[in-house]
Structure 1
Amino acid sequence: MQPKTCIYHDDRRRECSRMEDVFALAYCTLAATFAKDCSQGLFREDNKVSLGPKNGYSLCIRDVDEDFSRDVEQAELNQRGWVFQERALSRRIIHFTATQTYWECGKMTSCESADQIHNAVSRDRNPLNSSHFPICDSSGFQHDNSSAFEYTFTQYSKLSLTYPEDRPLAITGLETRLEDFYTTTSAHGILEKFFHKSLLWHRVEDDGLVRIEGFKDLSVPTWSWMAYRGEIGYCALPTRWNGKKKLNSLMTDLTRKYAHLNLR
Structure 2
Amino acid sequence: MNIAHRFTLIIEPLVDTSNDIKTIPSILQVIDCSGSAPCFQLLREWLRKCDQDHRECSRRKRYWPTRVILVGGSDPNKLKLQERANEKELEDYIVLSHCWGTPTDEEKERFCTTSKNYDDRVNEGFSYDDLPKTFQDAVRVTQELKKEYLWIDSLCIIQGDENDWENEAGLMEKVFASAYCTIAASSAPNWGVGFLKQNQSSQYIQIQDISGKQVNVCDFNKDVDEGPLNKRAWVLQERVLSCRTIHFSAEQTYWECGEGVRCENLTRLKCPTGRQYFVLDPNFPKRLTESGYDRTVDFVQYLFEKYSRCGLTNKSDRDTAISGLVKRIESALDTKGGYGVFRCFFSRLLLWKQSDEEKAALIDYKGRKVPSWSWMAYNGGIDFMSNSRLMAPNSEELQFDREALTVKVRQFKNCRPERYGILADSGRVGSVWFDTRANNRFKHCVVVGMRQDEKKDSQKTYYILIVKKKLQGEGYERLGVGEIEARYVSKEGNPGKLV
Same structural fold, with TM-score higher than 0.5 when normalized by the shorter chain: yes
Moved >4 Å (runs of 4+): 118-124, 137-142, 253-257, 259-263
Secondary structure of the 1:223 match is coil
* Residues 1:188 and 2:336 are matched in the alignment: no
- Per-residue deviation, 1:167: 0.6
Cα distance between partner residues in 2 of 1:44 and 1:27: 24
Cα distance between partner residues in 1 of 2:390 and 2:351: 14
The structure whose Rg is larger is 2
What is the TM-score normalised by the length of structure 2?
0.45
Letter in 1 for 2:384: Y
CA change 1:40–1:259 in 2 (3 A) is farther
Alpha-carbon displacement from aligned partner over 1:90-125 (angstroms, at most 9, x marks no partner): 010000111110011121111111330267797743
Cα distance between partner residues in 1 of 2:353 and 2:292: 21
* Residues 1:220 and 2:337 are matched in the alignment: no
Q: Number of matched residues?
A: 248
- Per-residue deviation, 1:140: 6.4
Aligned pair partner of 1:42 in 195, 200, 218:
195
- Per-residue deviation, 1:206: 4.4
Letter in 2 for 1:147: D
| RCO higher in structure (CA 8 A, sep ≥6) | 1
CA change 1:217–1:23 in 2 (3 A) is farther
- Per-residue deviation, 1:74: 0.7
Cα distance between partner residues in 2 of 1:108 and 1:197: 30
CA change 1:123–1:45 in 2 (3 A) is farther
Counterpart position of 1:59: none
Aligned pair partner of 1:165 in 306, 313, 316:
316
Cα distance between partner residues in 1 of 2:190 and 2:263: 23
Counterpart position of 1:20: 173
* Residues 1:176 and 2:327 are matched in the alignment: yes
* Residues 1:6 and 2:153 are matched in the alignment: yes
The structure in which a higher percent of residues are strand is: 2
CA change 1:196–1:224 in 2 (3 A) is same
Cα distance between partner residues in 1 of 2:262 and 2:275: 12
Tell me if the contact between 1:91 and 1:106 (Cα under 8 Å) persists in the aligned partners.
yes
- Per-residue deviation, 1:149: 1.7
Counterpart position of 1:125: 277
Counterpart position of 2:456: none
Cα distance between partner residues in 1 of 2:269 and 2:291: 19
CA change 1:137–1:191 in 2 (3 A) is closer
* Residues 1:204 and 2:355 are matched in the alignment: yes
Aligned pair partner of 1:78 in 230, 240, 260:
230
Secondary structure of the 1:193 match is helix
- Per-residue deviation, 1:136: 2.3
What is the TM-score normalised by the length of structure 1?
0.81
Tell me if the contact between 2:288 and 2:296 (Cα under 8 Å) persists in the aligned partners.
no
- Per-residue deviation, 1:237: 3.6
Letter in 2 for 1:107: E
Cα distance between partner residues in 2 of 1:224 and 1:176: 17
CA change 1:188–1:240 in 2 (3 A) is same
Secondary structure of the 1:222 match is coil
Tell me if the contact between 1:92 and 1:103 (Cα under 8 Å) persists in the aligned partners.
yes
Letter in 2 for 1:105: C
- Per-residue deviation, 1:198: 2.0
- Per-residue deviation, 1:83: 0.8
Tell me if the contact between 1:124 and 1:140 (Cα under 8 Å) persists in the aligned partners.
no
Letter in 1 for 2:225: E
Cα distance between partner residues in 2 of 1:142 and 1:257: 24
Cα distance between partner residues in 2 of 1:122 and 1:30: 25
Cα distance between partner residues in 2 of 1:125 and 1:211: 34
* Residues 1:90 and 2:247 are matched in the alignment: no
Question: RMSD across aligned C-alpha pairs, in angstroms?
Answer: 3.1
Secondary structure of the 2:255 match is strand
Alpha-carbon displacement from aligned partner over 1:51-87 (angstroms, at most 9, x marks no partner): xxxxxxxxxxx43462111110111011011111001
Cα distance between partner residues in 1 of 2:270 and 2:484: 38
Counterpart position of 1:136: 287
Tell me if the contact between 2:260 and 2:272 (Cα under 8 Å) persists in the aligned partners.
no
Moved more, 24-33 or 253-262: 253-262
Letter in 2 for 1:148: F
Tell me if the contact between 1:33 and 1:72 (Cα under 8 Å) persists in the aligned partners.
yes
Counterpart position of 1:53: none
Tell me if the contact between 1:68 and 1:119 (Cα under 8 Å) persists in the aligned partners.
no
Cα distance between partner residues in 2 of 1:122 and 1:237: 17
Mapping for residues 48-67 of structure 1, pairs under 5 Å: 48=201, 62-64=203-205, 66-67=218-219
Cα distance between partner residues in 1 of 2:263 and 2:295: 33
Letter in 2 for 1:235: M
Tell me if the contact between 1:106 and 1:124 (Cα under 8 Å) persists in the aligned partners.
no
Cα distance between partner residues in 1 of 2:357 and 2:131: 46
For structure 2, the 5+ residue unaligned runs are 1-129, 136-151, 206-216, 398-407, 409-445, 447-463, 467-478, 492-499
Tell me if the contact between 2:247 and 2:255 (Cα under 8 Å) persists in the aligned partners.
yes
Letter in 2 for 1:155: K
Cα distance between partner residues in 2 of 1:189 and 1:259: 24
CA change 1:256–1:92 in 2 (3 A) is same
For structure 1, the 5+ residue unaligned runs are 50-61
* Residues 1:111 and 2:263 are matched in the alignment: yes
CA change 1:216–1:13 in 2 (3 A) is farther
Secondary structure of the 1:103 match is strand
- Per-residue deviation, 1:234: 1.1
Alpha-carbon displacement from aligned partner over 1:17-76 (angstroms, at most 9, x marks no partner): 111100000111011110010112230134348xxxxxxxxxxxx434621111101110
Cα distance between partner residues in 1 of 2:359 and 2:480: 7
Cα distance between partner residues in 2 of 1:238 and 1:109: 31
